[in-house]
Structure 1
Amino acid sequence: MELKSELNRINELAKKAKTEGLTDKEKIEQKELRGQYLKRFRSAFEKHLHGLTVVDELGNDVTPEKLKKSKKRRHKH
């Protein structure tokens, strides 16, 4: 499913859940759609973070060690 239509469906189900409630089938669909969306979001966010370098006013690389290690692990794969 395309991201835009997926988000629209997630929102439709959320609105329906608040107004009239969801069937068991719709609850399952909602859970699956939310899971897929979060997986994509986390992946994109992680990719974005791995593209960052933190530099102080003097031009020194002050990227947190945890992020540097994560970048190295990712580039090994």
Structure 2
Amino acid sequence: MLSKEKLARISELSRKSKTTGLSMEEAKEQSSLRKEYLETFRSTMRDTIESVKVIDPDGNDVTPSKVQEAKKGKFLN
């Protein structure tokens, strides 16, 4: 998870880019922070999806095969 300071900086740079514009250094920083944010988001989302288990009303495991395969691959590594 990204720190509160980094999230605040992303928001600050976004607001500034819409009003006064960013310097080259700020644009590079913004790009770097966005990339880090997306990597963290994707990793968290992947972990969440891989931990899901779907059970139908009869109590049968109906978890999609792609999720089951991802779980197996994760535990083998």
TM-score band w.r.t. shorter chain? over 0.9
Question: Identity, % of aligned pairs?
Answer: 42
2:5 maps to 1:5: yes
The alpha-carbon deviation at position 35 of structure 1 amounts to 0.6
**Secondary structure at the counterpart of residue 52 of structure 1:** coil
**Secondary structure at the counterpart of residue 39 of structure 1:** helix
Normalized against structure 2, the TM-score is what?
0.93
**2:74 — aligned with what?**
74
Uncovered stretches (5+) of structure 1, i.e. residues with no partner: none
Uncovered stretches (5+) of structure 2, i.e. residues with no partner: none
Pairwise CA RMSD: 1.0
**Which contiguous aligned blocks of 4+ residues in structure 1 show a shift greater than 2 angstroms?**
none
Normalized against structure 1, the TM-score is what?
0.93
Inter-partner Cα distance in structure 1 for 2:40 and 2:48: 12
**Secondary structure at the counterpart of residue 38 of structure 1:** helix
Summarize the alignment of residues 56-71 of structure 1 with structure 2, pairs less than 5 Å apart: 56-71=56-71
